[in-house]
Amino acid sequence: MRVVLDTSPLRLTQAGTARYIRNLLARIDVLEPLAFGGAGRPAVLARELWWYPFRMSLLADADLLHFPTYYGPVRPRLPSIVTVHDLAVWRHPEAFGDWTRRYVPRAVPAVLRAAARVIAVSEFTAAELEELLRIPRERIVVVPNGVDPIFNPDGPRSDGDYVLAVGTLEPRKNLERTIRAAERLGVELRIVGERGWGGVEPDGSHVRWLGRLDDGELAEQYRGAHSVIYPSLYEGFGIPILEAMACGTPVVTSDRGAMKEIADDAAVLVDPLDIADIARGMEQAVTSHADLREAGVRRAAAFSWDETARLTRAVYDEVA
């Protein structure tokens, strides 16, 4: 079997989607990477307006196509599999640029209708696909993301008294409320993540923005934190939740959507729109540290990239 995997997203991001792509490549031996263009605006437009809808529709020298985001061809010659990480553009269009708000709702439904199977990274995302885009449940396969073994309780930890937020600087990560909640408690907030869009700034005398870190450095930050704060407004999964838990760090996250699903009973759940409740969650993470640590490590152990790869390969076998 030969499966062409679109690796173009690696030229745009090193966040959750990049983790997904790299881990599939490392674990599934039938994959052949294929990418087009760079990160600049002309390259993005060329991909979205020509490469995906036309060039990839003509590709015929493989058994399957796998598109790890919801960009893909609308009339593929080969059976296609499309992974959907979230439908944030539909739920929170205000968090995206004008082009994305116009292009994605018009193009993506046709891409998903053309796919032989749609992989959703959580039950929440599967339900969103059914509700918002009317994708039949029998064509959706839930394959959760995993946790890299580097994220574990043992190993070096960063010094200091701080709470940690992890995520690209963009509106739906809810950093402004996170910053204000940390300010209420008088604690240092460290933020790991690349600059994104929407004018989100890591401002505040109690805030330390670390930018993008490699996985070893990120694991040190996780282990050293009193808690990891992840009160996002919307996520299709929430990989930092599991990474923090795997490192033995209590997690405070949103009481809705995929975050509640992934955290299960192993995190403090808060209302992401309520600054006081986020602050309350930070305090609870300290007082319940031992119980949350134990529950979090146990919960994270249920997810692995090996299992993600095994389930994904099973989808290939079924479609082929």
What integer best gives the mean pLDDT of the chain? 94
Instruction: Convert the pLDDT of each residue in 198-245 to its tens digit.
Output: 778 888 999 999 998 999 999 999 999 999 999 999 999 999 999 999
Model confidence at 14: pLDDT above 80: no
pLDDT, position 291:
96
Instruction: Convert the pLDDT of each residue in 46-89 to its tens digit.
Output: 999 999 999 999 888 899 999 999 999 999 999 999 999 999 99
Instruction: Convert the pLDDT of each residue in 246-266 to its tens digit.
Output: 999 999 999 998 999 999 999
Arithmetic mean of pLDDT, 136-162: 96
CA distances from 192 to 111, 135, 170, 209 (A): 33, 35, 12, 6
Q: Identify residue 142 by its one-letter amino acid code.
A: V
CA 76 to CA 53: how far, in whole Å?
A: 9
Q: Which domain does 22 fall in, by range?
A: 3-146+304-319
> Is residue 140 located within the same domain as residue 269?
no
In a domain, 123, yes or no: yes
The count of domains in the chain is 2
> Is residue 292 located within the same domain as residue 308?
no
> Is residue 194 located within the same domain as residue 314?
no
pLDDT, position 202:
87
pLDDT, position 11:
81
pLDDT, position 25:
97
pLDDT, position 257:
87
pLDDT, position 40:
83
Q: What is the DSSP letter of 183?
A: H
pLDDT, position 216:
96
CA distances from 311 to 113, 124, 155, 306 (A): 21, 18, 30, 9
> Is residue 49 located within the same domain as residue 100?
yes
CA 272 to CA 51: how far, in whole Å?
A: 38
Model confidence at 308: pLDDT above 80: yes
In a domain, 39, yes or no: yes
pLDDT, position 124:
97
pLDDT-above-90 percentage for the chain? 81
In a domain, 30, yes or no: yes
